[in-house]
Structures are given as C-alpha cells and as structure tokens.
Amino acid sequence: MDQIPQLIVSGITSGCIYAIVAIGFSIIYGGTQVINFAQGEFVMVGAMVAAVLLAKFSLALAFPVAVAAGCLVGVLVALCVLIPLKRASVITLIIMTVGASILLRGLAQLFWGESAIPVPPFTGVRINGIVEDRTIHIYHAVVGVQSLWVVGITALLVLAMHLFFKYTLIGQAMRASSMNPTGARLVGISPRKMVVMSFMLAAALGAIAGVTVSPVFYAKCNMGTALGLKGFCAAVLGGLGNFGGGIIAGLLLGIVEALAGVLPSPWSDYKDAVAFVILLIVLLVKPQGLLVRKKAEA
C-alpha cells in the first residue's frame, strides 16, 4: 500500500500526456469528423527532434523548433492525405491516417534509428557528468520535477485551448466550421483552411507533449503508437469532440493504469492493456462516451 501514492504520481504524469493527445484527437475530429491515427506520431516527432537538438543546443532553441517541426508534419498530413481525398468516405480517410502513421514511424526509424535517446530534464542537476532530474517529496511519494513540468504545461495548454476557441477569431471560425460546415462556408469560412488549422493545432499539441514527456519516457521512434492509442481511448471515453471529457478520461486512465501495477503477477504485466479493456467495456455500455455532454446525446 505504501507504493500507491508513488503510482498515483506516475499515473498523473502519464494521464496528462494521454489528455493532451486526446485533445488533439478531438480537435481534428471536430473539424473533419475523421479520427486521426497519426496523432501519436506528432508526439514522436516532437520528442525525437527535441532529443536530437538538445544534444547540442539549449532547451530554449530545441523546444520551439520541435513544435514547429510537429506543426509542419501536421500540415503535410492534412495537405497530402485529407485535402486531396476530401470526397472519400470517412472510413477511407481514417485508413489513410493509419497509413500516414506507419509512414512517419518508418521515416523516423530511417533517420534516427530504433534506439531510445535519453533526454535531459528541463531543470535537472548534473551529477558525475550526467544530468539527473531533481526530486521533491510529497506525502509518501518522490516526485520528479520533470513530472511537475508535465502537469504544469498540460494545465497551461488546457487554458490556452479554452481561450483560443472562445476568444480568438480563428478559434471561433474552427468551432463554427465544426458545428455547421455549410453555414460557415456561406459566411466565408474556408473548410480547407480550417482542416489545415485543425491538423496544425493538433500536431503542435502533440509535439509539445512529446518534448515535455521525453525526459520521463525517453525519445523513441515507436513511442507514438502506444501514446496515440491510449490518447484515443481517452478521447472516446470522454466523448470525441468533448475537450473536458478527454482531459478527465486521460487522467483517470493514467491513474488506473499505474495502479494496475500493484496487482499480483502475472496480472500486473498486462497493465498497458487496461485502457483498451476499459474502452471495450464502455463501447458496449455507452458508445457515445462516459463523459459526453447531454446535448450531444440528443
């Protein structure tokens, strides 16, 4: 029982990343009605670019360049996959995003190899030539300062998304295009631009998540697969298009997954499957998502 506080801290860290990925899924789904299975690869791109740059440059340079690289990849996916096939069925477009995910992962392995790249924590301390994460004690848990960075950046991103969609013209245009594409087109909002903006914004979020979490999980070319699938589970559990639901579901998934580690062997070995088991149960009981808004059910 003494390890439960530590597991909860670990779960919150993972859950924050799942929540950010879930928001990315919801942004693209809201603008296109397409589930983008390349979302996890945006996380990977951000992590890998940051890992490579941090070997020679400071975080102040690596962070924005990694996010810019993620945005570029997101725009390319939109322009090369969604826009040319805009008249295709939703299923076809979803399959194309799966193909884009496989392509991005393969290109990453070609450029960077398959080995994990250690990434120094944002505010670490150098011990014997190695940058180690600082730690603080909260109750019975040892919390890495990098985990606090993850939580803090997640909170800032959630606030930024709320302000963006509520108060900026672009955010309001994206919401209008999502709720009423025909009406938005009649008032001069370009659906093509909104699709590109959706992908760019979702990719930026994914890249930020990748940079932030890479000191905790290491940067790997295959890291996007698991993070993307678990973020997808959180998005579905919270209700696709429901940002708040995705955030709550992501945090809960992270905590439940971590607590599954206290189960006796061999059950604890399958803790990574917890998200998918919960998703299957929810899809059977309430397919629209546990935390979906009531008006979405009407």
Of 121, 119, 81, nearest to 101 by C-alpha is 81
Q: DSSP code of 121?
A: -
- Write the CB contacts of 236 (distance below 8 Å, at least 6 apart in sequence): 279, 282, 283, 289
Q: Which CATH fold topology does 4-285 show?
A: ABC transporter involved in vitamin B12 uptake, BtuC (1.10.3470)
Q: What tokens were used for 210? A: 């990748």
Ordered DSSP codes for 26-94: HHHHHHHS---TTHHHHHHHHHHHHHHHHTTS-HHHHHHHHHHHHHHHHHHHIIIIITTTTTS-HHHHH
Q: What tokens were used for 99? A: 């193909």
pLDDT in tens, the chain (298 residues): 568 888 899 999 999 999 999 999 999 998 888 899 999 999 999 999 999 999 899 999 999 999 999 999 999 999 998 888 877 888 998 999 999 999 999 999 999 988 899 888 888 777 766 777 788 888 778 888 899 999 999 999 999 999 999 999 998 988 888 777 778 788 888 888 888 999 999 999 999 999 999 998 889 999 999 999 999 999 999 888 888 889 999 999 999 988 887 777 776 677 778 888 888 888 788 777 766 655 444 3
Q: Which helix (H) or strand (E) holds 125?
A: strand 125-127
Long-range CB contacts (within 8 A, 24+) of 54-59: 54/119, 54/120, 59/122
Tally of CB atoms within 10 A around 196: 19
Residue at 240: amino acid letter = L
Cα separation values, 281 from 80, 226, 289, Å: 35, 19, 11
Single pTM value for the model:
0.90
Distance (Å, whole) CA 120 – CA 218: 9
Cα separation values, 29 from 102, 171, 241, 297, Å: 20, 15, 6, 17
Alpha carbon 91 to its chain centroid, in Å, reads: 22
Tally of CB atoms within 10 A around 81: 20
Question: How, if at all, do strands 125-127 and 130-132 pair?
Answer: antiparallel
Q: What tokens were used for 59? A: 């975080």
Q: Give the domain ranges of the chain.
A: 4-285
